[in-house]
Amino acid sequence: MAAPPSASILVGPVPFKDVVGDDDDNGAAPPDEYDDIVSALPTSTTIGLRHYHGAWVSEWRVRGVISAQRRFVPRPGDMLLGSPPKCGTTWLKALSFAVMARDAYPPAGAGHPLRRLNPHDCVPFMDELFSAGQQAKLDALPSPRLMNTHMHHSLLPASVADNPACKIVYVCREPKDMVVSMWHFLRGAWRFTFAELFEWACEGKTPNGPVWEHILGYWRASRAAPERVMFLRYEEMLADPIGHVRELARFLGRPFSAADEAAGLPASVVELCSFEALRGVSARSVGSCSGSRVEFSHQSYFRKGAVGDWTNHMTADMARRFDAIVEDKLRGSGLAFN
């Protein structure tokens, strides 16, 4: 691992990859002391999920969840980005990084880290690092730290979930579009049909599923403490990205000033983090993102970036069935997708 710059002289967030370098190994090993717990958990699906406290989590990640619950050391000012997989994580990472780091890295600048790095290389994935026994890499980051997780809210370390000094920004997405996005993403690494994935989704057995439980956990947390948990929806962000960037900046404690507005900073952030711009950077990148265990190419994080692609993959009957399940699960919560 490259020697990290002294955290005390840097102000975060800084690109994760610039701090930890390219070395994925770092001499650490996945925590094996949880093997007995993990091997006793119910298992399901071709992609090797385990049922852990109500969540379907890949076997590899269960270790990370337990390890994070026991070992995560929070710092005042930590910002955590939460999401179910394939719901806008990459975009939220880019926007949050660009907003929080805009003094050090002006969004319109040619040298901005997001013009050379995938957002996953700028913002570390906490679950993966704990799963790999590489959580020390988080210690190398200067404060405030920006990290992300796919954990259910109920699985978060108490040191995050109950910590008034740590804020969470959550993004979710219309669940049928999530299933379609997941299909395109996972089929690169596993063999299964869309019909199979759809059946698993109906049973809640997708990575970090059931997606409705994932969404409900953060939804309730944001209703209980809106100043600590911000709840975003991918479709609404696409409809008004500049408005959402302003809200995000306020929530992250970095509101745009009148001078920032006059300089067009919110629009510059949106442009820097647009689907086209980030996809263009990823097309020039080789290898996979920092910390990812399964090799997903940089480009696999950018597919269509649109709403409603489920219509190209699901029959009307499939859509009705899935909608009815989600509607039933969300009933009474004040949240709906259709």
List the catalytic residues. Answer: 150
Compare residues 83 and 268 and give the one whose CB is closer to ligand A3P: 83
Could you say whether residue 83 binds ligand A3P (CB under 6 A)? yes
Which residues 6+ apart lie within 8 Å of 243 measured at CB? Answer: none
* H or E element at residue 290: none
Q: Which two tokens stand for residue 278?
A: 């980030």
CB 122 within 8 A of CB 113: yes
Segment 166-185, which members bind ligand A3P (CB under 6 A)? Answer: 177, 181, 184
Q: Which stretch binds ligand A3P (CB under 6 A): 15-23, 62-70, 251-259, 268-276?
A: 268-276
Q: Under rule CB under 6 A, how many of the chain's residues touch ligand A3P?
A: 21
Reduced to 3 states (helix: H, G, I; strand: E, B; else coil), residue 236 is helix
Could you say whether residue 86 binds ligand A3P (CB under 6 A)? yes
Segment 283-312, which members bind ligand A3P (CB under 6 A)? Answer: 301-305, 309
Q: Which two tokens stand for residue 260?
A: 């920032």
- Annotate 279-326 with three-state secondary structure: HHHHHCCCCECCCCCCCCEHHHHCCCCCCCHHHHCCCHHHHHHHHHHH
Nearest distance from residue 183's CB to ligand A3P, in Å? Answer: 9
Strands 167-172 and 229-233: parallel
Could you say whether residue 186 binds ligand A3P (CB under 6 A)? no
* H or E element at residue 182: helix 175-186
Could you say whether residue 118 binds ligand A3P (CB under 6 A)? no
Bond prior to 124 in cis (omega within 30° of 0): no
Which listed residue (4, 88, 124, 210) binds ligand A3P by CB under 6 A?
88
Which listed residue (89, 96, 149, 288) binds ligand A3P by CB under 6 A?
89
Kindly list the residues in this chain that would bind ligand A3P in the complex (CB under 6 A).
Answer: 83, 85-91, 177, 181, 184, 273-275, 278, 301-305, 309
